[in-house]
Chains A and B, each alone.
Chain A
Amino acid sequence: MPTLSLNQVTIRYDGEPRPTIGSTSLTIDTGDFVVLTGRSGCGKTSLLNVAAGFITPSSGTAGIDGRSITTPGADRAVVFQNDALFPWLSARDNVSFALRMRGMPKAERNRRADELLERVRLPKAGGKAVWELSGGMRQRVGLARALAADPDFLLMDEPLGALDALTRERMQTLLLDIWAGANVGVLMVTHGIEEALLLGTRGAVMAPDPGRIVRVIETGFGRRYVAGEPVRSIKADKDFIAGRAELADAIFDGEPA
């Protein structure tokens, strides 16, 4: 059971008076669903990029079980806000990309890709070109592509940010189903307060100048969904409503709305 940990990570860019991220720590275990939220520009994506290995912190360490993260790797697959699919490949070939990089034979990786497409409920999309798919379908292909790498951690940067509200609700439960069925630790960045509350086992609120985690809220609503409770009933729960207010307060830090 690997653990991903960020220890006192700071990110400082040349010419910027303050660090983008100032001494922030975060730990994600297998089975965790950690949601990072906060206002725009508070460094949520930067922190995720450190975990992904896209940026090296100015100080502090990022590592998995003591091995430090220096480059991106298939143990930490990433889902991007703008899907970042490869438009020259079919949906199936996008999904099997990680397997192709490992040299898996074509027949086997196609079979695997079709299984994954079924898991994200796109059983018939394999042969489709990326531009034939809607935003929601593209995100699901992106999710299947990340899962194909069989990662220990799934890092998602506002995966539902560009979707319309209805598609978004469907995708939230899909994410929970996928998380429940895969042995992964999830780190997800979102702007949505309800989304953070519903999906996460833990919600971490960040504040800007410098970007840092100011509040961590343990939530268990995602687990309740996985255990069988309908989303409507979870969202109507007074704990959920109180949690939403608490999270909003933490995000806006007493600012008048």
Chain B
Amino acid sequence: MQRAKGIEVKSVVVQVAATLALAFSFTTVVVLLSGEPPLAAYGHIVAGSVGSWLKVAQVLRVWVPLVLCSCGLLYTFQIGLWNIGVEGQVILGAIAATAVLRWGAAVGAPTGILSLSLLAAMGCGGLWALAAGILKTRGGVNEIFAGLGLNFVAVGIILWLIFGPWKRPGIASMSGTEPFARELWLPTVAGWRISPYALAAALGVLVLTWWTLKYTRVGLACRAIGRNPHASFLLGLRPDRWMLVAMMLAGGLAGLAGAYQVLAVYHRLIPAISSNYGYLSLLVVMLANYRWVWIPPIAFFFAALNVGSIQLPMMLQMDSSLAGVIQGSLVLATLVVHGWARRRQRAS
């Protein structure tokens, strides 16, 4: 028993080492191809992300929405759904939050308006996910294509709002809607670059997700259906209903991330409000091997890459998309190495 465990730990270490080696040799070759020094590039990313407390706060600002979306995706991955529509759910959450702030700005009582906008964002994100879920369970549309389609529709809606009904007086442009007054910003502490409320909320959601998935009926149903939908149906679980529940939970958390982008980061609605964090969260959860413990560190690492790579165009003649190359090659290397190990295991 002890020995078997030792071998398992060893094989995990070998797998992780192989993954890192594969991913980083690939990105290094890519950087070399572009004719720039790889070590300097990595150095700038590290210095630009964890080089000072200010930068760490910047990374945490990206970490919050990634954690929120990733927690939501845990529910859908557990039940066996590919919720690629998470991007659109973030956008709808941002739209709902903006709508409440716009209509509520005249009413007063900022705290009430802020909480209302958070609720609206969760509701709208959840409904957008529900639409994809119903298309899947009732309409026979694969959730990947339903989700993708709804993502593009969400982009259409946000562009229409920014250039149409919600345009700035006189000028409609990609720079977004009129910024909100300061009292409608998510409250923060003087001297902090990141709202402590947002950090607390992200941690709270993380713990709640862990608890829900481990100890409640919802978690049990998700796991059972994800492993064997047919058997769980025979045991009296309704897979289609639980899938809708999982989608709503994922959409609600994604909507919350969208509201955070509006209330705490941009303070207005911009076309790129989701910043691709929905898609990035799918990568986070895949790299975390669908386990909640790994989400906070991996989300932090991905956020650091995103923030640090902003230095690249300034310090070197490089595009900041190197972050995406590193993130993608890490997940890809994980899939390849994991598949390879499983194949060898089966062969032996």
- A and B: real partners? no
| Chain B residues with a Cβ under 8 A of chain A | none
| Chain A residues with a Cβ under 8 A of chain B | none
